Structure formats: C-alpha cells, structure tokens
Amino acid sequence: MADEVKLFGVWGSPFSRRVEIALKLKGVNYEFFEEDLSNKSALLLKYNPIYKKVPTLVHNGKAIAESQIILEYIDETWKNSPILPKDPYERAQARFWARFIDEKLMPTLWKVFWGCEDHDKVKEEAKEHLETLENELKDKKFFGGETVGLVDIVGNFIAYWVPRIQEASGLVLLTEEKYPKLYQWSHEFENHGDVKVKLPPNDKLLAYIKSRLEGVSTSK
Amino acid sequence: MSESRDVKVLGVWASPFVMRARIALNLKQVSYDFLQETSFLTEKSELLLKSNPIHKKVPVLIHNEKPICESLVIVEYIDDVWTSAPSIFPCHPHDRAIARFWAAYIDEKWFPSMKGISTAQGKGAKKAAIDQVIEGLVLLEEAFVKSSKGKPFFGGEQIGYLDIALGCFLAWLRVSEKMHGVKLLDQAKTPGLVKWAERFCEDPAVKGVMPETDKLLEFAKILFAKMRANLPK
C-alpha cells in the first residue's frame, strides 16, 4: 500500500518546519496543507481536537500531534537516515537537549524578543541558556555529530529564526563573538542541502517578523 | 547481569516524577540504590548538583556513573537498555506517539492544573481549578478506553509508559481529594480510570514505591505551609 502522508502546518512556524525538515531528510513525500490559524480548517480540528495546532501529521489516516512527538514517530517509521542515535545513552541525551531547547531556551528567547516583565532578568536567563547550549555543542559539526539529528532540527528556531528576529528588532543576543560554536552551527544547519529547501524564504520571514514586531510596539 | 551492576536513582519518596523511574526499573526487575535527598526542600546534595547541573532536579538515574535526567526521558532510557524484560512502550509507532502525546499532556496541562487547586485563592477560583482537573481526567478516561482496548492498563495486559506517566500522581490525587473534600477520580465520570487506579496501585512494581496517602498528606501540609510562607506579600 502506498504511504499517504499529510502535513498540516504554516509556512512561518519553526515547529511546522521541523517536521518538513525531517520528512525531507528521510526522502518521504507528503502533501502540505497551509493552515490559516485565524480560521482553522475542519480537517485540522478533526485530526488535532485537543490542541487544534500545527504541525499535525496524518499518516495513512492516523494523526500525530506535537512536533517532537512527530519527529520521533517519523524516525521510528522511516528507518533510513536516522535522526536519533542508536545508543540508549546518546538517545537520552538527545531527548534531554531537545526538551531543554523547547522548555527553557525557546520560551526565554521568545519573551526577550516580544517583550516581558523583568526584561533584564529574562535576558540574562536567555544568555545563560545559550551558553549552556554552546557548551553542549563542543566541537561537533551538528548536535547529531556529522549528520543533522533531533536536537539540530528542534534547534531550527535558534539557527534560522533568531538571527532574523535579531535583524528585525535590533535586539541581539546570539553573536559570533559570544557564541562562536552556535554561530558556526547555525550556518552549517541553514546551508545543509535538505534543510535549506525546507526553511521559509528569508525576505518573506523577515518582512513577517517586522510586521509582528511593529504590531507589538504600537499596541503598547 | 552486567547492565544492572551500577544503577542508582536520586530522588525523594514523595515525588511522583521520581516514582516513574522507580516503577520502570521495578517492571524490568532491575535492582538499584535509591539515594534520597534528605534536605530536598532546603538544600540539594552535591551529587544531585553534579549529576543534573542544568535543572538541579530529581529524579536522576545514574547508570554506570552516567546521569540521565528528566523522568520521561529516564523511562524511555530504561526501556531502551533493558530490552529482555517486557516492553514499557507499545510496539507500533502510532501507539507510541499516542502514549507520548498523553504523557506530554499530563505533564504540560494536567499536572499544572492539579497544582492549580492548591494555589487557587478563593472559593470560585478553587472550584474552577477543580473543574479543570476533572475535565482533564475525563479526556484521559477517553484515552484510557481507546488505548487499553478492554485490557487492564493503558499499556494493555501490563503497565506501560502511559500508566506510569499518569499513575505516579495517584497518591497526590488522593491527597488533593482529602485536603479539599472533593472527588476527582469519580465513578460517574471516569469509571474506567477508577478501576485502573486500583489495579495500578496493587501492581507489585508500584506497591513498594507509592506513598501511603496519610503520610503524604502530612508531608503536603508541611510543604504547602512552607510555600505559603515564601509567597511574596
């Protein structure tokens, strides 16, 4: 039976793009449904009734939600080009760092860029978390070693979105000077053949971010 | 067996997250040293700070001197390492994804709503918090019916990943029921989970690690008093 793979997502969402990157790395064909988040499709609501969010993957009629869970599903279903290591300890480490990015680093970065209370304190936290991730990278090309792995894919926001948010806002945390390894990694990641084609176009994303930031500042 | 030569769990008896690691090891019949943080509320041990420098939290599994942190990551690790014993995860990738989905829901939505009952100020807020927990349990009841397919546990014939993810909170759930005089797990709304809870707590892998409700209730009173004392005025 031919595999039927559908992905409900949005062009500008790092979470949605994570899934696209993983499917591309594995050479899996899929049908993409661009959602209008202000007017969600009946199909999305059917396939993800609990959270009603993107990305949602539907494989042969069965739905999977939450980007990290989708990534694990993709790795377990299509065994070529693995994104998780084989060794149990290394797998646990990959899962740990993927969680760290989503539960600690991304939320603080998000608050810093879009504005929050105790801004200076949150900024310091974000810098600490970036430092932690910098130290974890060590001398590896990717977090996954020689190849793009789970942590790299989950880190897509840092590699691609953060530099553009920094450009649009003028608020700069991630610099080559302070985080040379992360900086280098972000270039390797962005330019990886399978990743490159699955990232949002630079100009379009930059324009979108600028408009969002203007919306935030004028509403204050 | 060589893999079991050096297995330690850093934790505290009252933590549901620590319980997850212990239940998983028990299911695999792996013996381990349980190293308790004795002054957990006030001071963390050097071993904990060294093993989990990022989060400084329990549980930590230390296997052959290597630390693994985050309770659900630990449970997956245990299942990955001790493969000869019954599997904690379902076989099929989609079933695995469903189990992970609900475990994430429990940690990100349901457990915070449980904590919300204790921090709610005023009758109205408290009732709203309780209603939210029950709503979550109703969703989990549906998940149980779908997942178990008529068998005793989310995992089927045996305790699995999702049983562990939810079951670890049962003692705290009972404490909450006693403290606030409510029924959270209720025969009318969540009949499947009521029976499942009894079976879960009776399971040999769980019995020795699930705290007694009264002991936990006393601990909870002290804990909440300390938390209230520390709240900014």
Provide DSSP, A76-132. Answer: HHS-SS-SS-SSHHHHHHHHHHHHHIIIIIHHHHHHHHH--TTHHHHHHHHHHHHHH
- Side-chain half-sphere exposure of A131, counting CA atoms within 13 A: 8
Torsion of CA A140, A142, A148, A151, to 10 degrees: 110
Rounded to a whole number of angstroms, the distance from the CA of B101 to the nearest CA of chain A is 7
B146-182 in b/e form (b: 16+ CB < 10 A) is ebbeeebbbbbeebbbbbbbbbbbbbbbbbbbeeeeb
Least-confidence region, from A43-57, B81-95, B168-182, B214-228: B214-228
Q: How far apart are CA A24 and CA A199, in angstroms?
A: 11
A130: nearest Cα among A181, A87, A187: A181
Q: Which of A65, A99, A104 sits opposite B101 (nearest CB)?
A: A65
Residue pair B138/B131 in contact by the 8 Å Cβ criterion: no
* Rounded Cα–Cα distance for residues A185 and A199 (Å): 16
Q: What is the pLDDT of residue B231?
A: 67
pLDDT at residue B228 greater than cutoff 90:
no
Interface residue A70 vs chain B (CB under 8 A): yes
Residue-level pLDDT at B134: 96
Query: pLDDT tens digits, residue range A66-89?
Result: 999 999 999 999 999 999 999 999
Supply the mean pLDDT for chain A: 95
pLDDT surpasses 70 at A15: yes
Minimum-distance CB partner of A99 among B70, B81, B96:
B70
Write out pLDDT tens, residues A23-67. Answer: 999 999 999 999 999 999 999 999 999 999 999 999 999 999 999
- Mean model confidence pLDDT for chain B: 93
Q: Does B66 contact A132 at a Cβ distance shorter than 8 Å? A: no
CB of B139 within 8 Å of any CB in chain A? yes
Model confidence band, residue B98 (pLDDT cutoffs 50, 70, 90): very high
Per-residue confidence (pLDDT) for residue B232, from 0 to 100? 64
What does the pLDDT read at residue B226?
81
Say whether residue B142 is in contact with chain A using an 8 A CB cutoff.
Answer: no
d(CA B218, CA A73): 42
Please say whether the beta carbons of B93 and A76 come within 8 A: yes
**Residue B124 main-chain phi, psi, to 5 deg:** -60, -50
Amino acid at B48: L
B70 with A96: Cβ contact below 8 A: yes
User: What is the percent of chain B with per-residue pLDDT over 90, rounded to a whole number?
Assistant: 84
User: Is residue B58 within 8 Å of B15, Cβ to Cβ?
Assistant: yes
**Interface touch A65/B69, C-beta < 8 Å:** no
Q: For chain A, say whether B112 makes contact (Cβ under 8 Å).
A: no
pLDDT at B124 over 50: yes
B100 to chain A, any CB pair closer than 8 A? The answer is yes
Q: Which domains does chain A have, with CATH numbers?
A: 5-77 (3.40.30.10), 88-218 (1.20.1050.10)
According to DSSP, the β-strands at B66-69 and B60-63 are antiparallel
Collect all residues of chain A within an 8 Å Cβ-Cβ radius of residue B69: 96
Is the entire prediction scored with pTM above 0.90? yes
Residues of chain B neighbouring A72 (CB-CB closer than 8 A):
96-97, 100
Q: Which among A76, A91, A104 has the least Cβ separation from residue B93?
A: A76
Q: What CA–CA distance (Å, rounded) separates A75 from A53?
A: 21
Nearest chain A CA: its distance from B105 CA (Å): 9
Residue range B6-23: average pLDDT? Answer: 96
- Does A88 contact B94 at a Cβ distance shorter than 8 Å? no
Does residue A77 belong to the interface with chain B, where contact is any CB pair within 8 Å? yes
pLDDT of residue A219: 52
B101–A contact, CB cutoff 8 A = yes
Cβ atoms of B120 and B126 within 8 Å: the answer is yes
Percentage of the residues of chain A whose pLDDT score is greater than 70 = 98
| The pLDDT value given to residue A150 | 98
Asked whether residue A186 carries a pLDDT value surpassing 80, the answer given is: yes
Q: What are phi and psi of A25, to 5 degrees?
A: -55, -35
Please compute the mean of the pLDDT values over residues B139-148 and round it to a whole number.
97
Q: What DSSP string describes chain B?
A: -GGGGGEEEEE-TT-HHHHHHHHHHHHTT---EEEE-TTTTT---HHHHHH-TTT--S-EEEETTEEEESHHHHHHHHHHH--SSPPSS-SSHHHHHHHHHHHHHIIIIIHHHHHHHHH--SHHHHHHHHHHHHHHHHHHHHHHHHHHTTSSBTTBSS--HHHHHHHTTHHHHHHHHHHHT--SS-TTT-HHHHHHHHHHHHSHHHHTTSPPHHHHHHHHHHHHHHHHHHS--
Residue B91 sits at the chain A interface (C-beta within 8 Å): no
Average pLDDT (B3-14) is: 85
Query: Which of B54, B65, B111, B139 is best to mutate for the A interface (most A CBs within 10 A)?
Result: B54
Residue B2, pLDDT score: 47
pLDDT band for B7, please (50, 70, 90 cuts).
very high
At A175, the pLDDT band (50, 70, 90 cuts) reads very high
Asked if pLDDT for residue B218 goes beyond 60, the answer is yes
pLDDT recorded at residue B1: 45
Q: Is the pLDDT of residue B139 over 60?
A: yes
Partner residues linked to B62 by β-bridges: B8, B67
